Amino acid sequence: MTAADLVILGATVHTMDPQRPLASAVAVRDGLVVAVGDDLPIGSRTEVVDGSGLVVTPGLVDSHQHPLHGVADAGGVDAAGLTTPVRLRDLLRRAADGLPPDGWVVVNGVEYPALPDRPRQFLDDAVAGRPAFLWLADSHTALMSTRALHLAGITGPIDFGDRSEIVVDEDGVPTGQLHEMSAVLHGYAAVPSPSTEHIARLAADLFADQAACGITAIHVPDSWAGTEAVLDALEAQGRLPLRVLRAPWMFPARIEETLDALRGARADDRAKLWRTGAVKFFLDGTIDGGSAWLGHPDCAGDGTRPMWTDLGRYRDAVRRAAALGLPSFTHAIGDRAVTEALDTYQAVGRPARGRHRVEHAELLADDDVTRFAGLDVVASMQPTHLDWTLPDHTDNWSERLGPDRCGHGWRCADIVRAGGRVALGSDWPVAGYDPRVVMAGARLRRPAAEHGRAPVGADQALTARQSLAGYTTWAAYGSGEEQVAGRIREGFRADLTVFRGDPLTVPAEELADLPVELTVVAGRVAHRAG
């Protein structure tokens, strides 16, 4: 063997490869794994890592997050944990204090119990007439003050071509609430945006922090403004420490525009760290916001309609994307939305590369459990979304669904038992991106740090190995990269996560604190502890 660039010796190597599940050494050259075994030769220029006490796994992949969204609002005020309008008002007043009259107040993570009855008037009072934009915790609803609505040019209803809406009162006057993504993004466009250079600096810091958590790749199912320019800049500067797969949004009003952009997108440049590899659809919204598409209405009478008013157009758009060789990642949270997504995938068939996914799949009908494996569709799920669901079902999500349906949430284990694959992710900034925390949540079905809290749906817990597969082999399968990634095997990408301790044997409660010693992406060290 020609001398390697990097060799890790004397470690425990969990290859996730059934042909050779365990080894003690791995060698890397020119961005690829060139040898896996127990006694590997080294050369004079080889960097040798003493693997004593270290455990090597395939590089961890977060299959669903929104990094540019997160960093763009990094300067906003965090409202997480505030569960009453009174506490939210106090936060807004503190945030507005000292700002000029035209200074924007931007708030992230507003929880649904804190939602005021008359949003616009509430905000106008709390921020003293300033422009204000508030993201709800799920990012599918936003609130705007009168001044902010004026700056966004919002004076009444707008037809977005889907179920997104500018909520208005009986006189057609905006209430200050924007519901679902087309409306939310329309309003957010009025918020002053940082420069590309500033966003790039924030993104570089974010990606470095993610690499320090062991993340080697992320899947970004959105079209946040400036994403391509930021990724190009960071890669040109050598400051992109992980791989990025983009799945741009496909909205009903922009089908032709999106397809034209996809035809010219970077789909398969293997010399680069980022590429466009799928298309993202919204088939419904959220259970908390009453916009998930359910088999029957929720307890407030909501959840009866899909996001696409013409489902034939959704199916046709999925078919046209597949004709370009791109799979579809469909946001489907309600059980009826999941069924329609699976029906569509069955009708359209597989794309030339990769495979279709269902994003979130929070509520799942019994008849659809086996269809993920049967149709070769991957479930992309975020276990830490369970953190807002309480064991006594007094949370907003549970109260929306009612006691009979709460037990059908986040059926990760059922999908796996039926032969399906579950790619895991965080949905950052909705939830934290640390994969150790997410894997712990998948095993515990509760927040890892809350030791006294009962699990929600304990029978749906994943095992340690399944949780790791969700970040490695199943993540690679979900992006159509199972022949080059997700395992430690000769000829595969040299993307590695090296722990000081074993993620397969450490108790789930301790997994979040398991140190990451080394993160390797394309054969280069992206993070080194110490």
Give residue-wise pLDDT tens across range 129-145. Answer: 999 999 999 999 999 99
Residue 52 lies in a domain: no
Residues 6+ positions from 466 with CB-CB distance below 8 Å: 413, 416, 422, 442
Is 507 domain-assigned? no
Same domain, 300 and 439: yes
In a domain, 132, yes or no: yes
Would you call 170 exposed, middle or buried from its count of C-beta atoms within 10 A (0-12, 13-18, 19+)? exposed
Residues 148 and 204 in one domain: no
| 490 domain residue, yes or no | no
Question: Please, are residues 475 and 355 in contact by the beta-carbon 8 Å criterion?
Answer: no
Q: What's the pLDDT tens digit per position in 450-484?
A: 999 999 999 999 999 999 999 999 999 999 999 99
Does residue 200 share a domain with residue 161? no
| Domain identity same for 113 and 178 | yes
Q: Are residues 247 and 353 in the same domain?
A: yes
Any domain includes 284: yes
C-alpha dihedral sign at 152, 153, 155, 158? negative
Contacts of 64 (CB under 8 A, 6+ apart): 219, 221, 359, 380, 382, 423, 425, 426, 427
Nearby residues of 343 by Cβ (< 8 Å), 6 or more positions away: none
Q: What is the pLDDT of residue 1?
A: 55
Q: In what order do the strands lie in the sheet with 524-528?
A: 22-23, 12-14, 55-58, 496-499, 516-521, 524-528
Query: Is the CB of residue 385 less than 8 Å from the CB of residue 430?
Result: yes
Question: What's the rounded Cα separation, in Å, for the pair 478 and 219?
Answer: 10
Q: What is the CATH number of the domain that holds 81?
A: 3.10.310.70
In-domain check, residue 250: yes
**Distance in angstroms (rounded) separating the CA atoms of residues 71 and 230:** 12
- 244 and 147 housed in the same domain: no
On whether residue 519 sits in a domain, the answer given is: no
> Considering its fold, how many domains does the chain have in total?
2
- Domain boundary among the residues 155, 172, 188 is at 188
156 and 252 fall within a common domain: no
The whole-number pLDDT of residue 73 equals 83
Same domain? 179 vs 213: no
Confidence at residue 2, expressed as pLDDT on a 0 to 100 scale: 65
Residues 244 and 160 reside in one and the same domain: no
> Residue 53 corresponds to which amino acid?
G
Is 290 contained in some domain?
A: yes
Q: Which residue among 124, 158, 188 closes a domain? A: 188
Indicate if 119 and 254 belong to the same structural domain: no
Q: How far apart are CA 467 and CA 469, in angstroms?
A: 5
Regions of the chain where pLDDT drops below 50: none
Helices 311-323, 335-348: axis angle to 10 degrees equals 50
Are 429 and 395 in a shared domain? Answer: yes
**In the listed set 188, 214, 230, which residue is the last one of a domain according to the structure?**
188
**pLDDT at residue number 268:** 58
Which residue range is the domain that position 88 belongs to?
Answer: 73-188
Residue 276 sits in a domain whose CATH number is 3.20.20.140
Query: Are 286 and 204 found together in one domain?
Result: yes
* Cβ contact 418:412 at 8 Å: no
Q: What is the pLDDT of residue 4?
A: 80
Supply the pTM of this predicted model.
Answer: 0.95
- Could you tell me which residues are beta bridge partners of residue 359? 331, 380
